[in-house]
Amino acid sequence: MLFTTGYLTQRGRVERNCYELAIPNREITDLFVSQIRGWFEETTRADVPRMEKFCAAFPDGDAALVEEMLNDYLWNSISIRDTSVRRDRKENFYHGMLLGLLQYEDSWFIKSNAESGEGFSDILIETKNRIGVVIEVKYAEDGNLDKWCAEALDQIERKSYAARLLEDGMKSIVKYGIAFNKKHCKVVSG
């Protein structure tokens, strides 16, 4: 339809029934750009309340809400093929995904793999209300999400990951162990 109406033009033939198409001029390019931007802005606006709710749950210590929303996100957004990498790299996928979601809250100071206490915590957050958040992510290869959440919280304590947040003047600290397995997660706060 775009071809027959002139919004795309033929530039060549690749195979028998396959053609190379192009946007014919700057006017049509500008039209496509503004239309696509409009679609993205509409989609983004619709997502604002959900992202605000998700981010607010972290400093509030609402592990149940974080878990519910994160599970919905996993179910609707990722493929289990996204984690078809070596065992020692699976955690990185979820870590990066979570960082991307948390970046929505632009008033937070977020550090990834920051030195704190006696090691490097996965994610540290400093909110404008001086609430610190420590997140330790684990991949539960065996599917035992509860076990890996407990391991994550134990690691936060054992390695004193909250130390940097306390040094930076955070009044209170919320700690999360988050375990993932394919399209599922468990979130525990401690």
Do the Cβ atoms of 173 and 129 come closer than 8 Å? no
Average pLDDT over residues 87-111: 91
How do beta strands 131-139 and 172-181 pair?
parallel
- Model confidence at 149, pLDDT cuts 50, 70, 90, reads very high
Determine the pLDDT at residue 129: 95
Q: CA-CA distance, 190 to 187, in Å (whole number)?
A: 10
Determine the pLDDT at residue 133: 98
Report field, pTM of the whole predicted structure over 0.85: no
43-89 pLDDT, tens per residue?
556 678 889 999 999 999 999 999 999 999 999 888 877 777 777 78
**In the chain, pLDDT over 90 holds for what percent of residues?**
63
Q: CA-CA distance, 107 to 141, in Å (whole number)?
A: 34
Q: Which helix (H) or strand (E) holds 40?
A: helix 26-60
Pick the closest to residue 19 from 44, 34, 41, 2 (CA basis): 2
Pick the closest to residue 127 from 110, 113, 146 (CA basis): 110
Average pLDDT over residues 148-155: 98
